Structure 1
Amino acid sequence: MRRIAVITSTRADYGLLYWLLREIDAAADLQLQLIVTGTHLMPLFGQTEQGILADGFTPAARIALPLESDEPLAVAEAMGVATSAFARAFATLSPDIVVILGDRFEMLSAATAAFTLRIPIAHIHGGEVTEGALDEGYRHAISKLSALHFAAAEPYRQRLIRMGELPDRVWTVGAPGLDHLTRSEFLSAEALTESLGLDVRRPTALVTFHPATLDTDDAAAQCTSLLAALAAFPDWQFVLTHPNADPGGRAILPLLDAFAREDPARRRVFSSLGQARYLSLLRQVPLVIGNSSSGIIEAPSFGTATVNVGDRQHGRLRAASIIDCPVDTPAIISAIRTAIAPAFQARLATVENPYGAGNAAAKMLAVLRSTPLAPLRRKPFFDWAGKSQEING
């Protein structure tokens, strides 16, 4: 039985991994080893491990991180602790493959430990570009430590190959978060209204704003500009979620809380909505605002417009439903007005999403199940110079 260790550190990556976890857990020839870490175990961020347990998953290991602050030094020190803890967990669990999604610092720690212990890594969402965040560097570093690659779109597959990854180890599977479109059950507008304490049948926007960790402006100042723009729409309701645990994120929390307190009848803030509520709300509302990757990758398939604020997601492929704007109050107001205009909303039903249409979990499972393991412990460099840039596979 092949042992597959999958790491989840935030509410966001858990939602993207959910159907792959289900596929592995249901497979008679595979053993799921779920490792829970990061903000899942932190009360400040909603203690979201409870949602994982409620879904019926039992963690094989829990790795708590000492993140008393989100200052860069604290994050760097936590990465050292995490690397040691992941190494011990892998030594105990002896996984055959470690699955890592995305680009967070915890994931780089896990990749470093697994690579050193010669455990093959399968990386999801590699080859992408997010020029406004430290995630950009983490992501590419994880890719270079990984043996298998599941790209969300063909241009990303091509980039991974140009980075030296073997073409026959890189697959275009689409974005795994889109599997929810056809496989998940969504809450009705009535159920959402009862759960959130806000009538989502009225004009409502979903707002998530993370620190853009490579920006020179501080996160609090940027968030203040965004909230000032939201206040210019007194007829709209706003459901706001807390940012992640990146440097600068904790400075945003009191700003969100104060914004919600100013008008509690129209504004709600949550440390975490949970997967079911978040996806159901994404499907229900006409607009998402902020700089979350879900506004770029998942929202277009839900027929939801996105106002993408700032540079955090700069470099990612975009659907026609996304409006980019700088972190400037008048610019954000203008972008929101464009997004909620009837003409723009009417076009959303026909938007094509460059990240596919679902079924990523089944494609990834087939590779994880059948790929011979021994060759993965060596990682040749594929030098594509002089070869065709369009490498089929």
Structure 2
Amino acid sequence: MTEKRKICVITGTRAEYGQLSRLMKLISKNRKLELQLLVTGAHLSAKFGMTFREIEKDGFRITRKIDIRAGDDSPLGVSKSMSIAVLEFSKAFEKLRPDIIVLLGDRYEMLSAASAALNSRIPVAHLGGGASTEGAIDEAIRHSISKMSHLHFAGAEKERRRVIQLGESPDRVFNFGEPAVDVIRHTRLLKKKELEKKLGRKLKAKNLLITYHPVTLDTESSCEKQFANLLSALDELEDTLLIFTKPNADAGSGKIMRMLEKYTAANLEKCILFSSMGQQAYLSALSMVDAVVGNSSSGIAEAPTFKTPTVNIGDRQKGRIKAASVIDCLPEKENMLNAIRKVYSPAFRKALLKVKNPYGEGGASEKILKVIKTFPLENIVKKKFYDLP
């Protein structure tokens, strides 16, 4: 009997897991593959909702929990978490001996995992390379992971070309679209009454889904000011339900979280705050709200599939490929209010009917599975730098 190819998938945040879950399910069901699932970062933090429980609830068996003490969001705290992560991932790889590791995106946990894989001479398949987010340290992390990876799955053709521009061989760089779209296509969305039960209240005449993450290349004081401007803008809205989700475990998230908790506690009649809504409820809300507001990647990669507008604030997502449903605005109160007003304008609502998601229509996970299942792995860790013609 042929030995199963061992695929090690690593996830550290709720958003990451959401995008990977369809691929994970396909791997777990394939008789020629063995899924090794490592869970780390915010998934193991009470502060961020202990979201590893959602993964287990979805039927996945977690192979190992990698605790990197992700609670300290200071720059020094993040660096400490990264150093712990490199050591703990190295130990896990030594024990599990995966044939290939699957990483998504651009977070520091994934940089640590890629570094450990490089030292262990284990090939890496990287999802989401070639994207650009000029306002965040994610930009440098993402490109660094690409250089430590051996198979690449970009979300759009422009992003595929960027990975090749980094010197990666074209025969190892694929564009199948974003796997996040697959998750949408394979999730049973809640009906309105079901969502209202999950929210604990009825939707209002107007409803916004809001997620604001630290802009990690700005100063903490600048991020606080920008978020204060957002809260001040939201104060101006009438008859609007504000559904907040907490920020990622990035440097500076603690202060934003405290501001958010204080604001929602003082405005209970119009605010709901979630550490994590869970995938089904979040996507259901995304399909029903009037707009996504903030600087989350879900407003860029997922909202357009529902033709839901996005008010994209500031520089965190600057450089990303965007659908026509995305309204960019400066992190100033009046700019934000103008963008929110545009969401409700009849001309803009009419234009939404023609919106297409630039990250594809689905099917990426199945195509990625085929590559990681069949691509020859012998000597794959030795790479030649590809010079552009």
Band the TM-score falls in, shorter-chain normalisation: over 0.9
RMSD over aligned Cα atoms = 1.0
Query: Residue deviations 1:103-126, cap 9 Å, x none?
Result: 000000000000111100000000
* Structure 1 residue 370, shift from structure 2 partner: 0.5
Query: Residue deviations 1:338-371, cap 9 Å, x none?
Result: 0122221222121011110111100100000100
Q: Is 2:326 the counterpart of 1:330? A: no
* Structure 1 residue 200, shift from structure 2 partner: 2.5
- 2:46 maps to a residue whose letter is P
In structure 1, distance between residues paired with 2:139 and 2:242: 29
Q: How many percent of aligned residue pairs carry the same amino acid?
A: 46
- Aligned pair count? 385
Residue in 1 that maps onto 2:272: 268
Q: Is 2:321 the counterpart of 1:317? A: yes
Residue in 2 that maps onto 1:390: none
In structure 2, distance between residues paired with 1:252 and 1:69: 14
- 1:38 maps to a residue whose letter is G
Residue in 2 that maps onto 1:375: 379
In structure 1, distance between residues paired with 2:68 and 2:238: 40
- Specify the SS of the correspondent of 1:282: helix
* Dislocated runs of 4+, deviation >6 Å: none
Residue in 2 that maps onto 1:340: 344
List gaps (5 residues or longer) in structure 1. 388-393
In structure 2, distance between residues paired with 1:132 and 1:198: 35
What is the TM-score normalised by the length of structure 1?
0.96
- Specify the SS of the correspondent of 1:218: helix
Greater CA drift, 97-106 or 267-276 = 267-276
Residue in 1 that maps onto 2:108: 105
- Specify the SS of the correspondent of 2:379: helix
Task: Evaluate the alpha carbon distance shift between residue 201 and residue 375 of structure 1 in structure 2; reply closer, same or farther with a 3 A threshold.
Answer: farther
- Specify the SS of the correspondent of 1:375: coil
- 1:106 maps to a residue whose letter is E
- Please, which of 113, 117, 122 is the counterpart of residue 120 of structure 2? 117
In structure 2, distance between residues paired with 1:69 and 1:180: 31
Residue in 1 that maps onto 2:258: 254
Residue in 1 that maps onto 2:191: 188
- Specify the SS of the correspondent of 2:380: helix
- Specify the SS of the correspondent of 1:132: coil
In structure 2, distance between residues paired with 1:60 and 1:209: 31
* Structure 1 residue 287, shift from structure 2 partner: 0.4
List aligned pairs for 1:53-68, cutoff 5 A. Answer: 53-68=56-71
- 1:296 maps to a residue whose letter is I
- Specify the SS of the correspondent of 1:377: coil
Residue in 2 that maps onto 1:71: 74
- Please, which of 303, 311, 317 is the counterpart of residue 299 of structure 1? 303
In structure 2, distance between residues paired with 1:182 and 1:106: 28
- Please, which of 24, 28, 39 is the counterpart of residue 25 of structure 1? 28
In structure 1, distance between residues paired with 2:334 and 2:317: 20
Q: Check conservation: 2:205, 2:239, Cα contact below 8 A.
A: no
- Specify the SS of the correspondent of 2:81: helix
- Specify the SS of the correspondent of 1:269: strand
* Structure 1 residue 176, shift from structure 2 partner: 0.5
Q: Check conservation: 2:184, 2:283, Cα contact below 8 A.
A: no
- Specify the SS of the correspondent of 2:132: coil
In structure 2, distance between residues paired with 1:7 and 1:63: 10
Q: Check conservation: 1:203, 1:285, Cα contact below 8 A.
A: yes
Q: Check conservation: 2:156, 2:175, Cα contact below 8 A.
A: yes
Q: Check conservation: 1:219, 1:249, Cα contact below 8 A.
A: no
Residue in 2 that maps onto 1:132: 135
Q: Is 2:96 the counterpart of 1:93? A: yes
* Structure 1 residue 43, shift from structure 2 partner: 0.2
* Structure 1 residue 182, shift from structure 2 partner: 2.2
- Specify the SS of the correspondent of 2:226: helix
List gaps (5 residues or longer) in structure 2. none
* Structure 1 residue 47, shift from structure 2 partner: 0.4
- Please, which of 272, 280, 285 is the counterpart of residue 281 of structure 1? 285
Q: Check conservation: 2:90, 2:116, Cα contact below 8 A.
A: yes
In structure 1, distance between residues paired with 2:201 and 2:115: 44
- Please, which of 164, 168, 176 is the counterpart of residue 167 of structure 2? 164
- 2:134 maps to a residue whose letter is E
